[in-house]
Amino acid sequence: MFGFGRKKKQATDWVDLKTQPVPEGHHLLEVNDLKMYFHTQDGVVKAVNGVSYTLDRGETLGVVGESGSGKSVTSLTIMGLIDMPPGKIEGGDVLYRGRSLVKMTEEEMEHIRGNDIAMIFQDPMTSLNPVYTIGRQLSEGMILHRGYSKQQALQRSIELLQMVGIPNAEQRVKDYPHEFSGGMRQRVMIAMALACDPDILIADEPTTALDVTIQAQIIELMQKMQEENGNAIIMITHDLGVVADIADKIMVMYAGQPVEFGTAEEIFYEPIHPYTWGLNRSIPDPVIDEKRPLTPIKGNPPSLVNAPAGCAFSPRCPYATDLCRTEQPPTYVTETGHYSRCHYAHDASFVSANAPETSRTKTMLDHAADAVAAAQEGGEA
């Protein structure tokens, strides 16, 4: 932990996991019933409470939820970046290429971080060290994981900056973070994360702190890089709209639990959890009739210390019954793997009666059909 100037011994026998094949019967990343609790003075905060999903190369997973829903903590847990204590993994496992990240030593995790799994953060203004040049910060990971010399790393840094679309990269590499704009800094962050060609890129609200016009560029850049490198992306956001067009799978989180998980199509067209309906209703939609009211979800997320006895969403759910308020809902899984934690998810009539009309489109055809449907609905209203 703390030693004066002792040079870290590089474990020479370490073989990069990303160069090895995914073992039979495993996915690239498997999260199984992961539980991360924080033991604080006020009690136990169940920040992540039973999260499960799988991810393969080239896929994009969207993790959607409100502030404090545990979506960031989940990915920080995967990265091993939660301080323990106060955090404690109370159960579950994370398998990367069949190897448990949870059981790895700190030193092994240092090989994984930045090399196999990289992460970019919400606020590009504060995520870069102000006292070092961009080039130095970009080089660091490559020197560490790839054994590059400073010169090689700098050369590669310039290439990376060009790749993420920073003009005049040879000059800019010598600049300090404060000389870049927010969008440019997020590009630098992406370049830094992709420097060692990782398997998985975790993006924690990468566009939230940026101007709307820049947001689309950054998302586009991430997609383009994914096409070139074939890495998987975990995109964490509070905005269902952000992941709509890029995610293959979406996990909706509420109060530390995944309340619904499915393909992007399922989440948008056949959502079976009232919370997801609420999220869908609160997306402004330029396509559908302007008169459609935006319906915010009333109330606030529950305390993670004293969670409600029954379904965590029951205090805010307009359809909650006594059953919801007293008993934790089971996980209802459809044949496709689409799952929901709602007592009534299996009830097709309940779902069809209450699920919102949606206009999200995958194809022009759907788009048109929806527009017609929307027009009709608008007419009736």
Partner 1 sequence: MLRYIARRIIQFIPVFLGVTLILFVMQNVVPGDPIKLIAGEKKLDPQTEINLRASYHLIETDENGAPIFDEEGNTIETPLWKRYISYITGLLHGDLGRSYQQNGKEVTKILSQKYPYTFKLAVVAIVLESIIGIAAGMVSAIKRYSAWDVGVTLVTSGLVAMPAFWFGMLQQLFWGILMKQWTGGGFYLPISGTGGPYAEFPSWVYYILPALTLAAVSTAYTARIMRSQLLEVLNQDYIRTARAKGLSRRAVIWRHALKNALIPVVTYIGMDFGGMLAGAILTETVFNWPGVGFETYRAISQRDWPIVMGSVTVIVIVVMVINLIVDISYAFLDPRIRFDGSNNE
Partner 2 sequence: MSDNTTQPAGEQAVEQAQAKEFSAAPSRTLWGDAFQRLRRNKLAVAGAIWIILMVIIAISADLWVPQTLGNPTQTDSTTMASMSRLPPSLEHPFGTDTLGRDVLCRVIYGARISLAVGVLATAISTLIGLVMGALAAYNGGIWDTIIMRFADIFLAFPYTLFVIAMLAVIGPGIQNVFIAIGVLGWPSIARVFRSAILSVKENDYVDAARAMGASDARIIVRHIFPNSVASIVVYATMNIGGAILTESALSFLGMGVVPPDPSWGIMIQDGQTYLATQPWLMIMPGIAILTTVLAFTLLGDGLRDALDVKMKDA
Give residues in contact with partner 2 (CB under 8 A). 45, 47, 66-73, 76, 122-123, 204-205, 208-209, 236, 238-239, 278-279, 282, 284, 294-300, 304
If the CB atoms of residues 114 and 301 are measured against partner 2, the closer one turns out to be: 301
CB-CB neighbours of 372 under 10 Å: 10
| Binding of partner 1 by 40 (CB under 8 A) | no
* Cα dihedral 91/258/219/75 (nearest 10): -10
For residue 62, give the H/E element and its range: strand 60-64
If the CB atoms of residues 118 and 209 are measured against partner 2, the closer one turns out to be: 209
Site for partner 1 in 191-250 (CB under 8 A): 192-193
Amino acid at 329: P
Site for partner 1 in 83-112 (CB under 8 A): 106-107, 110-112
Which residue in the block uniquely carries the two structure tokens 């970019």? 120
Structure tokens belonging to residue 142: 């490559």
| Binding of partner 1 by 79 (CB under 8 A) | yes
Structure tokens belonging to residue 211: 């101007």
CB of 21 to partner 1, least distance (A): 22
| Binding of partner 1 by 179 (CB under 8 A) | yes
Q: Which residues contact 297 (CB under 8 A, 6 or more apart)?
A: 275, 278, 279, 282, 316
3 binds, among partner 1, partner 2, none (CB under 5 to 8 A by kind): partner 1
Measuring CA to CA, which residue among 101, 78, 91, 83 is closest to residue 46? 91
CB of 37 to partner 1, least distance (A): 20
CB of 319 to partner 1, least distance (A): 39
Residue 43's region, left for phi above 0, alpha for psi from -120 to 50, else beta, is left
If the CB atoms of residues 8 and 291 are measured against partner 1, the closer one turns out to be: 8
Site for partner 1 in 109-138 (CB under 8 A): 110-115, 118-119, 121, 123, 126-132
130 binds, among partner 2, partner 1, none (CB under 5 to 8 A by kind): partner 1
Interhelix angle 150-163/182-194, nearest 10 degrees: 120
Rounded Cα distance between 107 and 113, Å, is 10
Rounded Cα distance between 280 and 301, Å, is 17
Radius of gyration of the chain (CA): 22
Measuring CA to CA, which residue among 280, 277, 272 is closest to residue 346? 272
If the CB atoms of residues 208 and 229 are measured against partner 2, the closer one turns out to be: 208
Contact criterion met (CB below 8 Å) for 253 and 78: no
If the CB atoms of residues 136 and 249 are measured against partner 1, the closer one turns out to be: 136
If the CB atoms of residues 134 and 253 are measured against partner 1, the closer one turns out to be: 134
CB of 23 to partner 2, least distance (A): 32
33 binds, among partner 2, partner 1, none (CB under 5 to 8 A by kind): none
If the CB atoms of residues 76 and 342 are measured against partner 1, the closer one turns out to be: 76
CB of 175 to partner 2, least distance (A): 26
109 by Cβ neighbours in 10 Å (0-12 / 13-18 / 19+) ranks as middle
Q: What binding mask, one character per residue, do residues 350-379 give for partner 1 by CB under 8 A, x or -?
A: ------------------------------
If the CB atoms of residues 71 and 273 are measured against partner 2, the closer one turns out to be: 71
Contact criterion met (CB below 8 Å) for 128 and 121: no
| Binding of partner 1 by 348 (CB under 8 A) | no
Residues that bind partner 1 (CB under 8 A): 1-3, 5, 8, 79, 81, 106-107, 110-115, 118-119, 121, 123, 126-132, 140-141, 144-145, 176, 178-179, 189, 192-193
